[in-house]
Amino acid sequence: MSFFTSKPALRWSAPLAVLVVVGASGLVVATATADNKLPERTAEQLLVDLQQAKVDGLSGTVVQRADLGIPSIPGAGGGDSSQLTSLISGSHTLRVWYSGPDKARIAVMGTLGESDIVADGSDLWTWSSQDNKATHRRLQAGQHADQAAPTDAPKTPQEAAQRVLSQVGPTTEVSTASDVTVADRAAYELVLKPKDARSKVSEVTVAVDGETHLPLRVQVLSGDTVAFEVGYQSVTFGPQDASRFTFNPPPAATVTEVAPKTHQAPTAAQQAEAKKRAEAAKADSTVVGTGWTSVVVSKLPAGYADNAQVAEFVKRLPETSGSWGKGRLLDGTVFSAVLTDDGRIAVGAVQPALLDEALAK
C-alpha cells in the first residue's frame, strides 16, 4: 500500500529525493541474530513481507524529522510550519488516514494552522488553513494523486520505505537487528548498509510491523546522526469513515479549480518530438560510479537562476572549484551537490571529493 507516493525527482524543494535515489541500489542479504520477541523472520522474508503488505485502512499520527545539514530554502518554511514544502527540514507532525488506493488524506499540522492533501476517487484537493486557500482538480483515468502533490518529500513511512527498497541491489548489505517498538507496536528492524564506506549514508533502518508487515518507521543515518526520520507516533488499523475523505471548503475560502487536460492521441510528429526530448534529456545526464557512491551529473534547467528564491539559496552556498571549473557546493549530512558556473549539477550521497572526480570525467 502507499499514500501519495511520488517518483523521486531532483527538485529544489526536495533534496531528500536525491538521497533515496542515489542511495540503496544493491542487495546482499546477511545473517544477523537478535533476541526476537516476534517469530523469527529473515531479511529476505521481511523484504517480501514489505512488498506484499496490505490493509483495509488505517489512521495515525506521523512525526517526520529532517536534519540534512543544508541552508534553509527561502519560501519552503521550516520546523513548526504547516506548509507542505516545509517537510525537508525541521520536525513536523502529520495526521494520516487511508482507505484504499483512491482514498487518502494527509494533514501537516503547524503552529499557525494545517495543510491538507485529500484524495477521494477522482477528486484531489489541497488546502491551507493559514491563508484559507484550496485547489481542486479532477484526476483523469490513469492519473495519480502523487502527480499533483506539492512536495516530493516522503510524508509517511510507507512512502519512504517504498523509495528506498525500490533501489536495492548488490551494493547494499541487508540484515535484521533486534526487535523494536514503534507506536506501541512490536516491529522487526531491517537494516540496509552500504558496502562502500565512501558513502555519506551509514545505514537505513526500516521498522516492519510484526502483524501487518507495513513500515512503521524509516531512519536514514550518517554516522550516529539521524539525518532523516519518518515514523508513526500512533497508528490504528481498520476501515475508516468515508466522510474523512470528503473535503468541503470552509466559508470564505478561495478555491482554485484546475481544469483537466484534454487527453488526445499524440500525432506522429508529437511522438517524434517527445522521443527527441527524451533522448536529449538522457544525453544531458550521466551516472558516474555505482550504488551508494554513484554521482549523477546533469545539466541544470535553462534559466534556473532567474528564480529569485533559487538565486538567493545558491548565493549562500560556499564557492568551490576544481579541474572542471568553478561553482557552489552544498555539503549536507547525507548527500552533497555541486552547481557549476557552466550550468551543470553533480549530486550524490558522497563526500565532495567524489563529485569533483565525476565532474572532471
pLDDT at 81: 45
pLDDT at 4: 54
pLDDT at 73: 59
b/e map 180-205, b = 16+ CB within 10 Å: bebbebbbbbbbbbbebeebbbbbbb
Strand partners, 320: 327
Which three-class secondary structure state does DSSP give residue 219?
A: strand
Give the Cα separation of 161 and 166 in Å (integer): 8
Query: At CA 130, angle to CA 124 and CA 134, rounded to 5?
Result: 25
pLDDT in tens, 83-102: 554 456 678 899 999 998 78
Continuous segment of H or E residues that includes residue 52: helix 43-52
Strand partners, 70: none
pLDDT in tens, 326-340: 999 999 999 999 999
* Domains of the chain and CATH, by start: 15-258 (2.50.20.10), 268-360 (no CATH)
Non-local (6+) Cβ contacts of 129 within 8 A are: 82, 113, 114, 115, 250
The cell for 222 is: 550518517
Question: pTM of this prediction?
Answer: 0.80
Number of Cβ within 10 Å of residue 234's Cβ equals 14
pLDDT at 349: 93
Which stretches of the chain drop beneath a pLDDT of 70? Answer: 1-36, 72-89, 142-154, 261-265
pLDDT at 263: 56
Number of Cβ within 10 Å of residue 292's Cβ equals 26
Question: What is the 3 state secondary structure string of 37-97?
Answer: CCCCCCHHHHHHHHHHCCCCCEEEEEEEEECCCCCCCCCCCCCCCCCHHHHHCEEEEEEEE
Angle between helices 43-52 and 157-165 (to 10 degrees): 120
Give the Cα separation of 361 and 351 in Å (integer): 17
